[in-house]
Amino acid sequence: MWDAIWINGVVATMEAGAPYGLIDNGAIGIDKGRIAWVGEAARLPAAPTQLARDVVDAKRQVITPGLVDCHTHIVHAGHRRADFELRIAGAGRDDLAKISGGVRGTVLTTRRAPEELIFRESAARISELIANGVTTMESKSGFGLDRDTELRTLRVSRELGRRLPLTVVNTFLGAHGVAPEFDGRADAWIDHLAQDILPAAIREGLVEHCDGFCDKLGFSHEQMGRLFDVATANGIRVKLHADQYNDFGAPRVVAKYHGLSADHCEYSNEETVRIMAEAGVVCTLLPGANYALFETKRPPIDLFRKHGVAMAVATNNNPSSSPGLMPTMMMNLACHLFRVTPEEALAGFTRVGARALGLEKECGTIAAGKAADLAVWDVEHPGELAYRIASSPCRAVVKAGRVVHRASPPDLLRSPG
């Protein structure tokens, strides 16, 4: 007998093929934290009460895979409200750098913060993601830029994954920028990362992936290659912040190392896109930053479609350029700013988001054998998730078969007074 069965749901499996992988009157059997059966309710082998100990009526709500937020900088201390106010007043990246804003400002705040404070503030942010349907997320380091703080934040990420009901994937982002102590010595900083900090994180089992900022404003192909040589030699897969500000060909570095994703990609040209496609590199779209930074350059969506590059979408949650925790809002922005379709936007937060983390066999679609990670939405059709502006109609979240979040709309029928 299964542990549970969800019935009377509009099930968007997000399997490739039919639009949204939609099953209009669907049922999902769950056993031991995994999906045991999914299909049309009429095809169930027996009555629901005979198949499972717990029968849950979805009441015609939409059920999707639990969302996968494949790009976040969520573990840090403090906020960058001052950056926002200055940016609204016309300040640019260089202006913020002069007053220790942006990444460097958060580095200094996080270095000074006690570990318990970093944990508490990050847990609050992640709890909001869970309430918005997320069951799997990536967590990058990069707000320490020294050995002690990089390792501390990675340990906090690990502990958050143990204590909160979601899967947390750790990404080492020591190459987020040059540490203040290494100003003007980017090569020496990369050597320090490759020879000391990344190996220490690997020895402690704190990291699954390695990332970096590859751009004219950041690190070169050669510098990232030195770090990626160490990562891949230790079984760590790679990804990059790529071509956000310039056509730098950064996704080609990911392709060379058979990596997972190139993220941002606003300036990527067609030859770069073709190379990404040949290597199976995902592009992760980050509309929150594009919006917050007043960018006018958009990723080459038509080229991604033409060459068959899969597109993930993520919150890019960070305190300065994308302080957002609502995946449905990011779907809406991706549709409006980048002209992806609502189905592409949802696939970006499910099937393709899982692929961008190397987890496509575990999550991202509703299929027998995969983790029973689900999100239940008070909408009639999955296309509505990207349609509404700043709305998150998530009513329940299931992680490994267990309901970990419930939300109810207000009781509009209750008498006043």
Dist CA 154 CA 169 (whole Å): 10
Would strands 22-31 and 167-175 be described as parallel, antiparallel, or unpaired?
Answer: unpaired
Contact 156, 115 (CB under 8 A): yes
Q: If you average pLDDT over residues 326-343, what whole number do you get? A: 98
At a CB cut-off of 8 Å and minimum separation 6, what does 13 contact? Answer: 20, 21, 22, 23, 38, 65, 365, 366, 367
Instruction: Determine the Cα–Cα distance for residues 129 and 137; give it in Å rounded to an integer.
Output: 9
Residue 29 · residue 367 · CB < 8 Å:
no
pLDDT attached to residue 74: 98
**Mean per-residue pLDDT, 214-241:** 97
Residue pair 373/64 in contact (Cβ under 8 Å)? The answer is: no
* For residues 371-396, average pLDDT: 97
Cα 230 from Cα 193, distance rounded (Å): 10
Res 201: pLDDT? 98
Residue 100: is its pLDDT beyond 70? no
Which residue carries 């009460």 as its tokens?
Answer: 49
Per-residue confidence (pLDDT) for residue 413, from 0 to 100: 59
Give pLDDT, residue 98: 66
pLDDT of residue 86: 82
pLDDT at 101: 67
What does pTM read for this prediction?
0.95
Q: Count other Cβ atoms within 10 Å, centred on residue 39.
A: 16
Q: Which residue in 235, 274, 273, 288 sits closest to 257, CA to CA?
A: 235
**Would you say residue 416 has pLDDT above 60?**
no
Q: How is residue 346 written in tokens?
A: 């949802």
Q: Are strands 62-65 and 52-57 parallel, antiparallel or unpaired?
A: unpaired
**Lowest-pLDDT choice from 89-93, 249-253, 276-280, 298-302:** 89-93
pLDDT at position 263 is 98
Q: Which residues pair with 396 in a beta bridge?
A: 376, 406
- Environment class of 232 (CB within 10 Å of its CB; exposed 0-12, middle 13-18, buried 19+): middle
Give dist(CA 189, CA 185) in Å, integer.
Answer: 6
Residue 208 has pLDDT above 80, yes or no: yes
Summarize pLDDT for 286-295 with one digit per residue, the tens.
Answer: 999 999 999 9
| Helices 102-112 & 147-163 angle (0-180, nearest 10) | 80
State the average pLDDT over residues 4-13: 98
The whole-angstrom separation of Cα 294 and Cα 106 is 21
Distance CA 147, CA 153 (A): 10
Domains of the chain: 2-65+365-406 (2.30.40.10), 67-356 (3.20.20.140)
